[in-house]
Structure 1
Amino acid sequence: MKKLTISFSLFLAFSGATFAQSLSTTVPNETVTDQVLKELNRERALLSQNLDFRIKEIDSKITNLDESIKNSKNASDKVEKLLERVKFLEQRQTEIDKNTVSVYKYNYSSAVLNLASMEREIKPLNLFNSSREFYSTLDRVSNPMHYEGYQEWFGKFQNFVKEEQDSNASLAALNHIMAVTGDLSQGTPFVGMFAGSLFDGIGTFIESLNRRQKELQKQSIEMLKLTTSVSQFTHDKDLIETEWEAINKSLDELRNLQDKEMKENFVKMLGVNLEEFDRKFTGETDAKKRTQYILDISKIAENKIVEEREKNPENWKQSYHDEMLAVQNLKIRFGDITFRILENLKKYEGLIEKYKKDPYLKKEMGELEVKLDIVKNTFESTFNPQEYIKASNEMYIVE
């Protein structure tokens, strides 16, 4: 039994010294936290096996004592063996307490390390950087000024509106709103009241053209159809994009809660300087350095559990239990948000499919489809919402 305990202690010392170096050469940066947690769980599992072995050994001794007490006819011998039995029961409880501490050390380390990893996860820079071109393409599709021939034609139409506004109240209103809007080529959406006034104005313009202006009349009809398609596309797109406002609000709320938990756990409970944390973990690109730093944080968390148990043996679990639950809820909320993001991205697939056959927009839909695939693939390679939520629900082990 003694040999087993010594061997296990040597293993822990060796693995703690070599783990940071081996991990940094075998796993990509984004999996550092997961790999550290796997290593901590492996060590805890070995410790648990060791404790189980010792408890079984104690149980065997208690069983033998019970049999001996049952068969003993000497009163003093029975008392001596009963006292020995109490000693073994105390040893057994000590081993159970060790296992409880081991579980809490792992679980709180898991909470702290998952909270640390959220500092990087909550800033999905890869997603936003790769999606920037997609959203700029969406904006171009929504602005008819980017379509061939439209800007030149619109200049003729705009001159007509200015010339006829004095004799037509609707054209006067349209001229006013175009003046207020300014340079339409900069992306003013052709929707709502503006779109309605614009359609009426284009209709009036077409009706004003005489037989000698057949080419302009034909072109104007095509531009009216294009404007209608673009306006409806923009309306449908805006319905999807209203969800981004709610998602961004949820992300802001999550970030505030995460900041609060960072201060509560890292500053108040662990005594870690957040500026140092940002420098050595969040902003660190060297996997070896990040791994060593997160291992150091984990060791601080484990030591705090031991210290708290010694200072407050009756109620040492409560504050750590509350913080572990708070972090788990944060992780689940973050998983829910990533799920909402993915679902909203999928809505663009339906939007593109709807306008694929529109003769005025089908080329742009082809470009959008390619760029949307890039966005989705980048997002899904960074976040797997279902797996993330599942892992968040299973991030702790049960005693």
Structure 2
Amino acid sequence: MKKNIYFLFFLGLFLPLISFSQTLDENKSVSELVLYQLNKERSLLKENVDNRIKLMDAKITNLDESIRNTSSSTEKVDKLIERVQILEEKQQELDKNVVSVYKYNFSSAVLNLASMEREIKPLNLFNSSRDFYTTLDKVSNPMNYEGYAAWFKEFEKYIEENKKDEARLDALSHIIQVTGNLAEGTPFTGMFAGSLFDGIGSFVNSLGRRDKDLREKSMKMFKLTTSVSQFTHDKDLIETEWNAIAKSLDELKALQEKSMNENIVNILGINKNEFKKRFTDETDAKKRTQYILDISKIAEDKIVEERSKNAENWKQDFYNQMVTVQNLKIRFGTLTFRILENLDKYKLLITKYKEDEYLKDKVGQLDLKLSLVRNSFESTFNPQDYIKASNEMYIVE
């Protein structure tokens, strides 16, 4: 049951409704618009800076020529002073370009961080994913197979009639009472499966020639029970990974929230509730776009402020935060890879049992439903897109 909860948690978190898929598309659209606008501003500023620097370099060249050719000490001093002033102006222009690059990169970090919050929030299930998991449960429960429930009543009658003389049957009777209604999905695995196999074996061996039909049916149900039990065991091995995935996701959410506090609240001084209202929960893509552009201006002012206070080391804190966000993005992409890999294990499970005499009909129903789940997930959370985006988050000058 615990594994089922983890699996459902994963599905609820990562297999979105179509409306959420549209939300992710809007997120990408917002990101593209913001980064396009920021890059446009940066490119225009860089072009202007480059032009001004070319003019300054030309002036410096002319001044150097004049200094070499003049014999007047006063004129040399004046031209040297002018040269120093131009060099200072040139450095200011170069600094503008550096600030512009950091504005773009830090804004990209904040944007990716904020978008990640929207992407890892709990989601509802796709109808297809619910359908897939429901069918998976049906395969694992022998009570869903034709004739099994009626036969099991005959088997239970045998248990009750003979448990006083057979300790193993008495123990099996106890387990059945403890587990309650088997039709509700008690896993036919572990200790319960072992006791069940012993009990069914005793039941089959107790049937004589006069019970030929019941014996044949019991052998069929015995084989069905073993197939279901092994299928459930193999399925549980896959579902154990959802536990680790859920833990990794919790860790990622905690790190993302910590980074949000450090960047949005501590560095930029933005109220977290205000940010949540105007970006995380905002449904209008245009408003989200404008809000992030407004934040980029705050980021620019903050960068200029930090540079003026600490001219030598002002870049380090911003750089550290950008690396942290990039690592979170990579980690998110890696997590989606793990999810796809685990989904692919179900494909191997289906292939393994699709020819089983007793399970093939129900297992066959899983194939298409699994494809719907996988394709929906991959089209919405493409791991390669996340990894690629994380490597292209920043510009380098």
Match of 1:104 among 102, 105, 116: 102
1:287 aligns with 2:290: no
| SS in structure 1 at match of 2:94 | helix
CA contact (8 A) 1:112 1:301 kept: no
CA distance in 2, matches of 1:357, 1:208: 31
Alignment correspondent of 2:162: 164
CA contact (8 A) 1:226 1:360 kept: yes
Alignment correspondent of 2:245: 247
Question: What is the number of equivalent residue pairs in this alignment?
Answer: 373
| SS in structure 1 at match of 2:27 | helix
Equivalent AA in structure 2 for residue 345 of structure 1? L
CA contact (8 A) 2:99 2:300 kept: no
Alignment correspondent of 2:205: 207
CA contact (8 A) 1:335 1:388 kept: yes
Q: TM-score, normalised by structure 1?
A: 0.88
Q: Give 1:185 shift.
A: 1.2
Equivalent AA in structure 2 for residue 30 of structure 1? N
1:379 aligns with 2:377: yes
CA distance in 1, matches of 2:163, 2:25: 65
Change (3 A) 1:28 1:328: closer
Alignment correspondent of 1:325: 323
Ranges in structure 2 where 5+ consecutive residues have no aligned partner: 1-23
CA contact (8 A) 1:266 1:272 kept: yes
Alignment correspondent of 1:391: 389
CA contact (8 A) 1:126 1:378 kept: no
Q: Give 1:126 shift.
A: 5.9
Percent identity, aligned pairs only, is 68
Larger deviation, residues 300-309 vs 218-227: 300-309
Q: How does 1:126-145 map onto structure 2 within 5 Å?
A: 130-145=128-143
Match of 2:114 among 101, 113, 116: 116
Alignment correspondent of 1:181: 179
Q: Give 1:151 shift.
A: 1.2
Match of 1:339 among 337, 340, 350: 337
CA contact (8 A) 1:280 1:293 kept: yes
String of CA shifts for 1:166-219, please: whole Å, max 9, x gaps.
111221121121122111111111111211111121111111112222221111
Q: TM-score, normalised by structure 2?
A: 0.89
CA distance in 2, matches of 1:163, 1:49: 93
Larger deviation, residues 353-362 vs 51-60: 51-60
Change (3 A) 1:376 1:98: same
Q: How does 1:228-307 map onto structure 2 within 5 Å?
A: 228-307=226-305
CA contact (8 A) 1:338 1:385 kept: yes
Alignment correspondent of 1:29: 26
Q: Give 1:369 shift.
A: 1.0
String of CA shifts for 1:233-259, please: whole Å, max 9, x gaps.
111111111111001000001111111
Match of 1:56 among 50, 54, 64: 54
CA contact (8 A) 1:113 1:294 kept: yes
Equivalent AA in structure 2 for residue 100 of structure 1? V
Ranges in structure 1 where 5+ consecutive residues have no aligned partner: 1-26
Larger deviation, residues 222-231 vs 271-280: 271-280
CA contact (8 A) 1:33 1:294 kept: no
Equivalent AA in structure 2 for residue 29 of structure 1? E
| SS in structure 2 at match of 1:376 | helix
Aligned-CA RMSD value: 1.9
Q: Give 1:378 shift.
A: 1.1
Equivalent AA in structure 1 for residue 68 of structure 2? K
Larger deviation, residues 269-278 vs 319-328: 269-278
String of CA shifts for 1:55-93, please: whole Å, max 9, x gaps.
222222222322333333433333332222212211111
Change (3 A) 1:60 1:43: same
Equivalent AA in structure 2 for residue 226 of structure 1? L
Change (3 A) 1:35 1:124: farther
